[in-house]
Structure 1
Amino acid sequence: MTKYIWLTLAGMLTALFQASAQELYVNSEPASNMAAKSLGIRLENQGYFKPDYRNRTTLEAMLGINKYIMVHGTAYMSDFYQDKQRFEGVSAYAKYRFYSADSVQRHFRMAAFAKASSIRNVQYNQEISLEGDNTGLQGGLVATQLVHKLAVSGSLSYLRAFENRGGYEPVNRNSIAYTLSAGYLLFPKKYTNYEQTNINLYAELLGKSNPGKAQYYVDIAPAIQFIFNSVLRVDLSYRTPLTNRMLRNTQNMYLVRVEYNLFNIFN
């Protein structure tokens, strides 16, 4: 029992240093990975209120294989395309961190990521979204720079949409996605133990463009995040367009997420 307690505490402290709190972006992924041999469970709800209230619930499991590789598996349910909530499909995500330059209170990291989704929904949106809307593939690169309490990250990726299950053809086949995120550790001012509550502030720019078409958008998504005892995370965010020329569901959406992490789940 004592050995298990010490392993758990070590895992929590490892998580603090491997994935700095201000890098745990709400609307995007950093180049850093979650702690090795750890499992994270997320329950998330996103939605919009106009022209009527619609929402999507997401259940996601995340596994840190080692310090280089992590994987996600996600299931989606929403009423975006019909009057009642129903199961939409699943997606899988993997990230490989291939570069890291670390020093005291700063690091620079780069990673490659890929995502695949299988979705059953009517397709009428111009946006390609693998988060419950489109069947498709995504691949890209992400780079993250941490300097003391500030972390800045950017990503660029390509999306390819396919026919949704049920024979629903996509409106568009190709898209380019890009993000620019900044996170700041507001509290604690100084780490003394893993039980301290973390409060992080975020500002993220989220954009997509459909090549060869005048369809694009850039959203801004401010967020606040609370991390309790290094294991329980609560995210609150709202995204709104800075510019928009694309028919999509993601416009003017709130996000509420709860995540719980288990460390040292396997040897």
Structure 2
Amino acid sequence: MKRMIKIFLVAAMLPAGDLFAQELYVSTEPASNMPRGGLGIRLMNEGMFGSEIRTRTGLELMTGVTKNLMVHASAYLSDYYRKQQRLEAVSFYAKYRFLSADRVQRHTRSAVFGRYTSSKNLMVNDDISLEGDNTGIQGGLIVTQLLHKLALSASASYTRMLDVNDTHHALHGYPSESIGYTFSSGYLVFPRVYKDYKQTNMNLYLEFLGKSNPGKNQHLMDVAPAVQFIFGSKVRVDASRQLQLWNNMRRTVKNKYLVRVEYNLYNIF
């Protein structure tokens, strides 16, 4: 009992708001939030290798407005749709946590989220994405469950394109809306026992990312294994490989890599 209390108190001292390390998913967002008054800075690079190399770089800022509300702002640069790199899109994301149920070393969180993206890219495939590719809005629900060292999370979302060119879409049969669904698991490998927040964390993730286009009978499912290191509760390094399991959509990028570095500042507002 004393050991359980000690672990709980040390975890409570970690400057990570209501987030535990194994909830910091690489390909999705958890229902938990970063602490109020904090600032996170992310630099991401993703891409694919094949007959040609295509890459996308993203810069993202995020902050906790209240203990239940956090917001993100992102900018994307890529050569996915042009032969040269260009600034292609900006995106804004907000998440509101409406449910928290806590017990020692376990909790349940639920949140709703929304995203708006403005992109220079025209629709050229069936895979609608608001992470740099298309202009549109998105809304959804996330539920996250922490069970000691294991964190599980699921989400469902609806995405609607806003720059639909009726003639262009009709000619090529492109969709204007999609349904997204994800399931993520994260496991804390190291440290085995928390002693202080300066300890290095190592987490392993396995995430499933699916989409369907209503009325089109188009579906895809990817799996994304990932490894993550957190240093001093401030610096986070992610590496992921997203692999296609099945798909009958036209898409720009598949079987891509992702690397990301994040730096967090606390209590600055």
TM-score by length of 1: 0.92
Distance in structure 1 (CA, Å) of the matches to 2:60 and 2:154 = 23
Q: Secondary structure at the match of 2:225?
A: strand
Name 1:123's counterpart in structure 2.
Answer: 123
Q: Secondary structure at the match of 1:196?
A: coil
Identical-residue share of aligned pairs (%) = 56
1:203 alignment partner, one of 202, 206, 219: 206
Distance in structure 2 (CA, Å) of the matches to 1:220 and 1:56 = 20
Q: Secondary structure at the match of 2:15?
A: helix
Q: Secondary structure at the match of 1:18?
A: coil
Name 2:159's counterpart in structure 1.
Answer: 159
Equivalent positions of 1:84-123 (< 5 A) are: 84-123=84-123
Distance in structure 1 (CA, Å) of the matches to 2:77 and 2:225 = 25
Pair 37,242 (structure 1): closer, same or farther in 2 beyond 3 Å: same
Q: Does 1:231 align with 2:229?
A: no
Q: Which deviates more, 148-157 or 44-53?
A: 44-53
Aligned length: 255
Instruction: Extract unaligned runs of 5+ from structure 2.
Output: 1-9
The answer to whether the Cα contact below 8 Å between 1:122 and 1:168 also exists between their aligned partners in 2 is no
Distance in structure 2 (CA, Å) of the matches to 1:187 and 1:48 = 30
Q: Secondary structure at the match of 1:22?
A: helix
Instruction: Extract unaligned runs of 5+ from structure 1.
Output: 1-9
Distance in structure 1 (CA, Å) of the matches to 2:55 and 2:151 = 30
Cα displacement (A) at 1:99: 0.4
Residue 125 of structure 1 aligns with an amino acid whose one-letter code is N
Distance in structure 2 (CA, Å) of the matches to 1:51 and 1:131 = 24
Distance in structure 2 (CA, Å) of the matches to 1:106 and 1:32 = 13
Pair 252,151 (structure 1): closer, same or farther in 2 beyond 3 Å: same
Give the alignment's Cα RMSD to 1 decimal. 1.9
Distance in structure 2 (CA, Å) of the matches to 1:80 and 1:185 = 34
Name 1:184's counterpart in structure 2.
Answer: 187
The answer to whether the Cα contact below 8 Å between 1:239 and 1:253 also exists between their aligned partners in 2 is yes
The answer to whether the Cα contact below 8 Å between 1:121 and 1:168 also exists between their aligned partners in 2 is no
Name 1:221's counterpart in structure 2.
Answer: 224
- Which runs of structure 1 show a deviation greater than 2 angstroms over 4 or more consecutive aligned residues? 12-17, 167-171
Residue 200 of structure 2 aligns with an amino acid whose one-letter code is T
* Cα offsets for 1:80-127 (capped at 9, x unmatched): 011100000100000000001001000001000000000001320101
